Amino acid sequence: MAKNNKSRPIKPSKLSVYLYIPNIIGYTRGLMNCYAFAICFSNKWLFCALYFISFVCDGIDGWVARKFNQVSTFGAVLDMVTDRISTACLLVILSQVYRPGMVFLSLLALDIGSHWLQMYSTFLLGKASHKDVKDSTNWLFKAYYGNRMFMAYCCVACEVLYISLFLLAQNGTEKKLMDVLKASITEGSLVSVLVVLSLFGWAIKQLVNIIQMKTAADVCVLHDINKKERP
């Protein structure tokens, strides 16, 4: 009998996965953010530049992963953790320079809570990606994750708004958030224009986060119900 000479695909080693190009980009993003937050009050513009470059790399690493066939679960988790930590740190800073600070802390809780629940519900459903929402009945939720350009706009708008508010804040003084937003509408500076232009995309992303949290929570509850129904 002839032997099957077809070679089996070679499994990557643990180290090789850690050293995937998109994962190296992820490590670089983490280091960049650490340095950015270390100098955020001493050099605001450099901080914003580094923070935004790190944010842009979030899109580049996904493209690189698909281009070189280096998509990995570790990379997806690393990507999300880096995103959530960097946004959380910026929101904590904003909560210290604006009043009421609870607004930014609430946004932080919503951001982390909705993404954590979405990731966990994804594993319960056996899906490969938390962005797979084809079976959702909510049109906005499907439009957000189904259209890369729309999702990118909302994400960019959200980060630009937070960066702009940070630039508008004055070191050593606390400002009322609504006063700054009203002043931004009337002023004609570049930062003020960015605040106004980013408000719509920011609002859409927060709405999607709320929908995401509710949808993911429903998956977890239904999972519990189905377990109890089994004999």
Question: Catalytic annotation on 224?
Answer: no
For residue 33, the enclosing domain spans 14-229
Q: From the candidates 58, 61, 79, 83, give the one annotated as an active-site residue.
A: 83
pTM here is 0.87
Q: Is residue 114 part of a domain?
A: yes
What pLDDT, on a 0 to 100 scale, did the predictor assign at position 50?
Answer: 96
pLDDT of residue 180 exceeding 90, the answer is no
Contact 99, 175 (CB under 8 A): yes
How many domains in the chain?
A: 1
pLDDT of residue 5 exceeding 80, the answer is no
Rounded to the nearest angstrom, the gap between the alpha carbon of residue 158 and the centroid of all alpha carbons in its chain is: 10
- 3 state DSSP class of 176: strand
Residues whose CB is less than 8 angstroms from the CB of residue 139 and which lie 6 or more positions away in sequence, other chains included: none
What pLDDT, on a 0 to 100 scale, did the predictor assign at position 202?
Answer: 97
- C-alpha pair distances (Å), 37 with each of 30, 34, 231: 11, 5, 53
- Read off the tokens for 13: 């080693």
- 3 state DSSP class of 59: helix
Q: Is residue 162 part of a domain?
A: yes
Q: Which one, of 151, 145, 16, 118, lies nearest residue 74 by Cα? A: 16
Q: Is residue 188 part of a domain?
A: yes
Q: What is the pLDDT of residues 20-41, one digit of tens each?
A: 999 999 999 999 999 999 999 9
Number of helices and strands in the chain (H, E): 9, 2
- Read off the tokens for 180: 């700054």
Q: What is the pLDDT of residues 87-96, one digit of tens each?
A: 999 999 999 9
Rounded to the nearest 5°, which phi and psi values hold at 119?
-65, -45
Q: Is residue 9 part of a domain?
A: no
